[in-house]
Structure 1
């Protein structure tokens, strides 16, 4: 009896058409949000490093909210605990969709990006810990350099104008989704304060009601938004970070279409389409505005490289992320017999790995949580996150720009639609009707070319004839 043949799988191969369209739409919104995030971070730095610094601190530290409900919070806390719950709500929907309809649905296809993401979080944490053990610093911030900011990374792509192929973009998106999942777990497990079990129990009851209403098919934002606010408030008062409420509600949404229901989009995809602009265009930029405003001077930048905590963050983002993602991907491909798409090369994976070193939103949040009892060190950690993310952005921009011509050709091949069917030609080449349409188009072009040639010849004969 012959031994079974082990087939190889293509890594970073062409996406299916529905997955390609979903990734394109999701990343288009994230790119716009990333540009706004970038502008908000720049505005925060300018605001905090000019004579207007006192007004920045006044606005950031201004308290508002019902104290009787335990919600008399500063503007900065409202941005970190409130607005970021919207961001994590979208992350929860993304994760649910990836698990039921995306790349994470198939364990074999999911193995590479999941392993890459895990290694891309473990390596920066290890780099940070080693730097601080050797340098005698605090290991409390080990989780700070583990996060990837997909919006900021895509903003870099938008700025440098790289036409990254959809497979590489999808790989980056999947990395970020898995990254968000483990960042959520890190926040829930390692940054939970003393628990208020009554509030936590109330939050769980609220989530159960939320789930039950979804299963019963109850519709109407006026039902879910007030309930979501109650769940968020209870989660905040429980001692568990309030963003966990957003993730939990996102994971409860149905992200697959029911057969026979005539749905063009699942409820989860529909709600994500509505909420993502709010997350990318308002929630995350406002968080950046009130979290990225740190004093930057020559001395402060020098201190980033002399203190083990801040140096560990920079090296974790710039070195740890690249080594972890690239090394994890290569080893996984090597031992799962997956072959890299022949149109790409391993330096392309290295470039995307360096792009994943841009850790902004979640890194800033974890930095605030890890060193909440030391405001000075918190600001220094934020400066390290900004510097590390900027360094990773410059490095990735250089690496991607080197291959820009190749990427542009692959992008144009993916986008080409010569038969004007609305579907890229690469997805129609196995369709017999496609070849008939293309033959007809080429025949019409040839006829048009001959017609113009005859007209040009007739025009020359007229010009050369007698007056």
Structure 2
């Protein structure tokens, strides 16, 4: 009787496949640019609010929109409920793509980032609740420190110049996608006001029509954009947070290619078009109208003394890092996954601490959790900014300690000596690649011999250096 073949162990943070690497590289490139714009918008909001607070409040409180449709909203609400729907639309497409073509399509491979993301949301919530139970604060903000802002995190990476290997970047991106999914569920379940069933039914009918048009392969943005706006308006008036409409439409798009003649799936094509709008306009404008809070010495001191704000800071800085790192370690301990030999557990902890940057969704949940208390809402926003800043500095230091290692791994991944557009590490088993490389090396050797002969001839004639 033959012995059963040993089961192969899954490599955690191993090298990505070439298509996945290319997708991650393009997605993160756009998010990084958007993250820099997000940083600029947040700084501009803070400066504006703390130097000309009256004009800042007047601008973000300016109302416009058709009141007869229930859409006479302030600019701040248009940014939070309208523009962020675009952000969540892209998040919905990302999630769908991950489930059908990315890391989440394989349950075994998906277990690690899903467990890590869940622990990375549960532990910050627990830290917040414990801080407020012991300090006598309000538990209403438990969800504020649970979110990760991928654009802000990537902007930090761009600023500190760390060349993270693609596997670590993909892990961070997958964490953020799963994080977004559960943040959406939290908003839908815990922050839904009294329901207007007529509007909600109309939104569901609109979504059904949206799905039917996609199913029938109907093309034309002039159909989908107006329909999407109607769905969004009905969802807003239903009492369910309007960003849920964006997620639902994103999840309906087809994100797999039906045959080789199709270069990109419809979901990937639309994401490629809409992501720059989300990262470059929607999220920075939301930051501009939401991040403007007082950062005077007294206000910042209160962040570390009030239980609600201290709970947010500790949740982001401590809870996120401990939750993601602990969840990842436990998942590898009880599954057949093992860490990539080129990386170490401190690398996972550094990325986990980077996920403590919770900006966009944390600010949104902060507004929803304390909507009846404007003063506490601003204090919670200040806590989100402080916690995100501390997490950014901490992760930056940890990543810098290993920057030489990351840069070597990154350079190995990016090296393309035969200039065919495909990194060499993905061609090592290709005979044509080895022939091309032999020809390139022979050409370089011939050039070196020619230069040596020229240098020798000049030396003999006395016309050049010996």
TM tier, shorter chain?
over 0.9
Query: 1:110-129 alignment to 2 at 5 Å?
Result: 110-129=110-129
- In the other structure, the counterpart of 2:220 is 220
- In the other structure, the counterpart of 1:417 is 416
- In the other structure, the counterpart of 1:16 is 17
Q: Which runs of 5+ in 1 are unaligned?
A: none
Q: 2:225, 2:442 → 1: CA distance?
A: 58
Residue 3 (structure 1) shift: 4.2
Residue 337 (structure 1) shift: 2.5
Residue 132 (structure 1) shift: 0.6
1:25 has 2:26 as partner: yes
Query: 1:426-437 alignment to 2 at 5 Å?
Result: 426-437=425-436
Q: 1:164, 1:82 → 2: CA distance?
A: 34
Q: 2:302, 2:321 → 1: CA distance?
A: 24
- In the other structure, the counterpart of 1:38 is 39
- In the other structure, the counterpart of 1:173 is 173
- In the other structure, the counterpart of 1:148 is 148
Q: 1:418, 1:165 → 2: CA distance?
A: 19
- In the other structure, the counterpart of 2:350 is 351
- In the other structure, the counterpart of 1:67 is 67
Q: 1:243, 1:13 → 2: CA distance?
A: 35
Q: 2:300, 2:418 → 1: CA distance?
A: 56
Q: 1:321, 1:309 → 2: CA distance?
A: 17
1:239 has 2:213 as partner: no
Residue 358 (structure 1) shift: 0.0
Q: 1:82, 1:61 → 2: CA distance?
A: 15
SS at match of 1:15: coil
Q: 2:345, 2:249 → 1: CA distance?
A: 38
Q: 1:464 to 1:176 in 2, by over 3 A?
A: closer
SS at match of 1:83: helix
- In the other structure, the counterpart of 2:134 is 134
- In the other structure, the counterpart of 2:266 is 267
Of the structure 1 ranges 348-357 and 296-305, higher mean CA displacement relative to structure 2 is found in 296-305
- In the other structure, the counterpart of 2:101 is 101
Q: 1:5, 1:217 → 2: CA distance?
A: 46
Q: 1:70, 1:464 → 2: CA distance?
A: 88
Query: How many equivalent residue pairs?
Result: 463
Q: 2:421, 2:239 → 1: CA distance?
A: 51
Residue 6 (structure 1) shift: 2.6
Of the structure 1 ranges 323-332 and 3-12, higher mean CA displacement relative to structure 2 is found in 3-12
Residue 435 (structure 1) shift: 1.1
Q: 2:273, 2:314 → 1: CA distance?
A: 37
Residue 334 (structure 1) shift: 1.1
Q: 1:63, 1:192 → 2: CA distance?
A: 23
Q: 1:189, 1:358 → 2: CA distance?
A: 24
Residue 437 (structure 1) shift: 1.1
Of the structure 1 ranges 14-23 and 298-307, higher mean CA displacement relative to structure 2 is found in 298-307
Q: 1:351, 1:252 → 2: CA distance?
A: 35
Give the TM-score normalised by structure 2: 0.98
Deviations 1:208-227 (A, max 9, x none): 00000011111111100000
Q: 1:92, 1:200 → 2: CA distance?
A: 20
1:337 has 2:336 as partner: yes
Q: 1:185, 1:192 → 2: CA distance?
A: 11
Query: 1:257-406 alignment to 2 at 5 Å?
Result: 257-259=257-259, 262-406=261-405
Q: 1:121 to 1:464 in 2, by over 3 A?
A: closer
Deviations 1:37-90 (A, max 9, x none): 00000000000001x110000001111111000000010000000000000000
Q: 1:163, 1:412 → 2: CA distance?
A: 9
- In the other structure, the counterpart of 2:50 is 49
SS at match of 2:192: coil
SS at match of 1:339: strand
Deviations 1:15-37 (A, max 9, x none): 00000000000000000000000
Residue 327 (structure 1) shift: 0.5
Give the TM-score normalised by structure 1: 0.98
Q: 2:294, 2:449 → 1: CA distance?
A: 69
Q: 1:318, 1:127 → 2: CA distance?
A: 10
Q: 1:427, 1:5 → 2: CA distance?
A: 26
Q: 2:459, 2:299 → 1: CA distance?
A: 76
- In the other structure, the counterpart of 1:455 is 454
SS at match of 1:125: helix
Q: 2:451, 2:295 → 1: CA distance?
A: 66
